[in-house]
Chains A and B, each alone.
Chain A
């Protein structure tokens, strides 16, 4: 294809007509917006509609709240919700405990290793999550490598069963799956902080903890809220990790949805459970997003 010869400037310099004003956004936005409407908004609408419907084998159907009342009154679901909260929260805290110092190292200490390390984090995220779960199962299982290794050096006689198929293994797998999304927003907000502030704080007699709590933490709070937004919500809905390494004690809300929809074929109950999780996710996201904005504004 040749380069088109420079044409006589006709429309280019003129003020766009009303027609053009309407046409230009349409030309760019109509296709993406149509895709979003058709495969995101409409399915979400149908999901919400389904959550208020009942249908039985006789073909009767209609409007109902029972899907929600059934879920909310069931003590088993309440217990699973608590387990989910516990697992997601511990995994989130674990990631922050590792992620904040790691972001600090990346932003201020890594020097020429900064970019390769960042790339390693991206790579860790690109690795197939199922491969990672598989790898952890191989390590933690009864006949897994950790048990085998400990037994062969004589540290233990009987394999430790507590490594796999419980909350612990779910937390390990989930924490390692999302670490990239915890570290990168925090790292990004640290890059915007002037490192001279730490020296100033030290000169004024602040210890490292005071400097962290009073100087660094308020400044990187927006990044932490973004990390919460990106990581905490998906932690609540994960169901591959709990199914494959959770056993019976690591059963989470995502498993409930998956079992309701695929094992029981109860679309209405599955839709209701999804809708409740969606509301919780939306509320949490809004709060986290607003907090990240407020903090940014206060800077």
Chain B
């Protein structure tokens, strides 16, 4: 084969790999460097490398602001995840399986929440709570997080329910299963991967949410609000590097762990990687 032809053949692959690597470097490179420099024994984050240390980690552990903020975020995200899964599952069943008057309208409101920018939701929450004279705290953060997060669960779980044939449910009822048995043995196993995916997304949405927490938190800080405050008033601090690295690592592990579990669940029922990929894309379609 002449060289030009060979280059022509190889070009698309080279470009594909190049593009993919470039994107991965841009997306993850900065965060990896941040993690690397959290081990640098220097008060300023810069070259040259001064030597390995874990002192920023012990300082972060003793940093009241950092620890409180991380604790707050975990507390908020845990409650928001559970509440969103319950509300979201109820609503997705209602919206996909039960015909009732006004269903398109109700579905529309669920969808609308997802496209209204969080900044505006945050401002509306701030004004709302000031009007009903409810003091801003973690509670108000949780309430506003739930209202923006459970419609996401609805989107993911509904996508799962739509793919799944309702005649199986009718068959179970015809064969004498109670409503509860039908839910437990027919529906739940089918939507379990969707629920797991929705759970990961819900937790991440709440944990990472900055705008709403910023406006409706009053004096209580979640992790993103804490980092924002530090960055606004001072330059970069190695302690923030350490805390951020721990958070990023935990998020990586959480996503991979739950993903792995979900794949096992899908595979066990004869599913493939394709189904797993559909779970991700189903949420945004």
Chain A contacts to B: CB under 8 angstroms: 3-4, 6-7, 9, 12-13, 24-25, 28-29, 31-33, 35-36, 39-44, 46-47, 50, 98, 101-102, 105, 109-110, 113-115, 117-139, 141, 143-145, 148-149, 152, 176, 179, 181, 184-185, 187-188, 191, 226, 229-230, 233-234, 236-240, 243-244, 254, 257-258, 261-262, 267, 270-271, 274, 277-278, 281, 285
Contacts and interface: CB of A to CB of B under 8 A. Distances in A.
B91 A32 contact: yes
B177 A139 contact: no
Contacts of B150: 32, 35
B210 interface: yes
A126 B127 contact: no
B247 A131 contact: yes
Contacts of B130: 267
Interface centre among A110, A128, A149, by most B CB within 10 Å? Answer: A128
B280 interface: yes
Interface stretch (B52-60, B160-168, B188-196, B251-259): B251-259
Nearest to B144: A39
B2 interface: no
Interface of chain B, main secondary structure: helix
Contacts of A9: 176
A149 B280 CA distance: 38
B133 interface: no
Contact of A46 (B87, B128, B143): B128
Interface of chain A, main secondary structure: helix
B123 A6 contact: no
Interface string B263-275: 0000000000100
A138 B45 contact: yes
B109 A41 contact: yes
A223 B124 CA distance: 30
Nearest to B251: A126
23 contacts: A6-B178, A12-B174, A28-B90, A29-B91, A29-B94, A39-B146, A40-B121, A98-B19, A101-B19, A128-B248, A130-B208, A130-B210, A131-B248, A134-B231, A135-B34, A137-B231, A138-B236, A143-B44, A145-B33, A230-B284, A238-B119, A243-B232, A262-B215
Interface of B: 12-13, 15-16, 19-20, 23-24, 26-28, 30-31, 33-34, 37, 44-48, 87-88, 90-91, 93-95, 98, 100, 106, 109-110, 113, 115-121, 123-128, 130-131, 143-144, 146-148, 150-151, 154, 173-174, 176-181, 200, 204, 207-208, 210-211, 214-215, 223-224, 227-228, 231-232, 235-236, 240-241, 244, 247-248, 251-252, 255-256, 259, 273, 276-277, 280-281, 284-285
A130 B251 contact: no
Interface centre among A39, A244, A254, by most B CB within 10 Å? Answer: A39
Nearest to B101: A25
B285 to A, nearest CB: 5
A37 B226 CA distance: 30
Contact of A184 (B109, B143, B176, B281): B281
A139 B30 contact: yes
A26 B220 CA distance: 36
Given A124-B28, A127-B31, A181 B115 contact: no
Contacts of A127: 31, 208, 248, 251-252
A152 B115 contact: no
B255 A12 contact: no
Contacts of A29: 90-91, 94-95, 98, 100, 106
